Amino acid sequence: MMAAVTAARRGLSVLVTEQMDKPGKKLYATGNGRCNFTNAVIEKRCFHGDEQLLEAVLAQFSKEETLSFFHEIGVFPKEKNGYYYPNSMQASSVVDALVAEMKKDKVNLVLNSGLQTVDPWKNSFLIKTTAGSFYGKQVIFATGLMASPKLGSDGSALQIIKNLGHHFMPVLPVLCGFEARGFEFKKASKVRCEAELALFVDGKCMVTERGELQFADYGISGIPVFQISSPAAHALYEKKETVVTINFLPDLSFREIKKELHFRLSGNPDGTSSVLLSGLLNQNLVVPVSKKAGISMNRSLDEQAVHNLASVLHECPVILTGMHGFSFAQACAGGIKTEEIHIKTLESGLIPGIYFAGEILDVDGICGGYNLQWAWASGYVAGSAVGHD
């Protein structure tokens, strides 16, 4: 929609084919229905993928330009801890404003029109869809990859793009949970707790992240897991040993945790781990944490047990075994190989007249409005470049 509006404002005749029955279905789901559409701090470290491509695109459309574009089309911004939302706190405001702008700029939006083939034809392209065929002098693919396919990005355009000769970096689900072993996840399922995570790939610490961890029967999820998901997904794809350590008491050092356990034990010399952990940890974590520390539930704790318990509270390793899958992912890593496109215009280097925008390119962001900033910026770049001979 951003690419369409940008091109149409330049006087080009624009047609959008959308396979769903509504435009922007994914946008409605963003930011828990509130649409976190950009961030006050846009930095390289908030993205993964091709750095040169990222820089070339973001240099042409900054977060200030995002804010001013949306303000201009009626989305008044509200900032919360650096995250920008529409003031209505309703994602529908963003969709409505984009759809209204497309209408104003005379963009022809054809719904229920799934792309089937795109073929070069007499200096233009023949675009076959489930709703009929169209011709276009240029084509911008802004079809997403495969995250949350129910919302439209079902990967159906990938083969069409491959048929044009393009290749893809591995497409992996990110901003998703991970299947894991090495902890009684079923017992801990649905627990949410503040924790600090560290991701280790083949023994090397890659990134740490603090936030609300969520346990699920399959493994771990929640914002801090999403934030480390891109390097974790790549490590799993490359079949590397991928371990996350959980610090359940991130405000205390290991020594302080031990001190606290000793203090608790001094008041309860026969204390079991349930007694010792009560009030310190979510009740549903007591058994899995104790078991991880090798402690039997009805035995009073000795010095070794206190040490083991403190170790697990401070650094509980779980082994990631898989990503929770595209259906549950908010974004995808990977995309069109950057060496096959012109990074300043997003035009195909293989077929002049074909352009790309959004998640289909090899850039993905962490949570915080980065994926949408990327979508707006790359949509703007492709929409500005299209139509120039």
Q: Which residues bind ligand FAD (CB under 6 A)?
A: 17-20, 25-26, 29-31, 35-36, 114-115, 142-144, 147-148, 151-153, 156-157, 330-331, 358-359, 369-372, 375
Rounded to the nearest 10 degrees, the angle between the axes of helix 283-292 and helix 303-314 is: 110
Q: Return all residues near 157 (Cβ < 8 A) that are at least 6 apart.
A: 115, 141, 143, 360
Q: How many other CB atoms sit within 10 Å of the CB of residue 119?
A: 11
Q: Smaller CB distance to ligand FAD: residue 127 or 306?
A: 127
Phi, psi of 85 (to 5 degrees): -130, 165
- C-alpha 173/C-alpha 378 separation (Å) is 20
Shortest separation between residue 385's beta carbon and ligand FAD, angstroms: 17
Secondary structure element (H or E) that encloses residue 12, with its range:
none
Shortest separation between residue 17's beta carbon and ligand FAD, angstroms: 5
Q: Smaller CB distance to ligand FAD: residue 39 or 308?
A: 39
Using an 8 Å Cβ cutoff, are 381 and 346 in contact? Answer: yes
Q: Smaller CB distance to ligand FAD: residue 25 or 342?
A: 25
Shortest separation between residue 289's beta carbon and ligand FAD, angstroms: 31
Shortest separation between residue 96's beta carbon and ligand FAD, angstroms: 15
Shortest separation between residue 72's beta carbon and ligand FAD, angstroms: 20
Q: Return all residues near 252 (Cβ < 8 A) that are at least 6 apart.
A: 260, 314
Q: Smaller CB distance to ligand FAD: residue 47 or 248?
A: 47
Q: Smaller CB distance to ligand FAD: residue 220 or 375?
A: 375
Shortest separation between residue 151's beta carbon and ligand FAD, angstroms: 6
Q: Smaller CB distance to ligand FAD: residue 91 or 301?
A: 91
Q: Smaller CB distance to ligand FAD: residue 213 or 336?
A: 336
Shortest separation between residue 199's beta carbon and ligand FAD, angstroms: 21
- C-alpha 312/C-alpha 1 separation (Å) is 49
Q: Smaller CB distance to ligand FAD: residue 331 or 343?
A: 331
Shortest separation between residue 1's beta carbon and ligand FAD, angstroms: 8
In the chain, the N- to C-terminal Cα span, in Å, equals 22
Closest CA to 208 of 194, 191, 227: 227
3-class secondary structure for 217-237?
CCEEECHHHHHCHHHHHHHHH
Shortest separation between residue 30's beta carbon and ligand FAD, angstroms: 3
Using an 8 Å Cβ cutoff, are 40 and 82 in contact? Answer: yes
- C-alpha 346/C-alpha 131 separation (Å) is 27
Closest CA to 46 of 169, 233, 228: 228
Count of alpha carbons within 13 angstroms of residue 138, beta-carbon side: 26
Q: Smaller CB distance to ligand FAD: residue 39 or 247?
A: 39
Q: Which two tokens stand for residue 298?
A: 């009805």
Using an 8 Å Cβ cutoff, are 249 and 314 in contact? Answer: yes
Shortest separation between residue 258's beta carbon and ligand FAD, angstroms: 40
Sign of the Cα pseudo-torsion (154, 157, 162, 168, in order) = negative
Which one-letter DSSP state was computed for residue 380? H
Count of alpha carbons within 13 angstroms of residue 385, beta-carbon side: 24
Q: Smaller CB distance to ligand FAD: residue 26 or 292?
A: 26
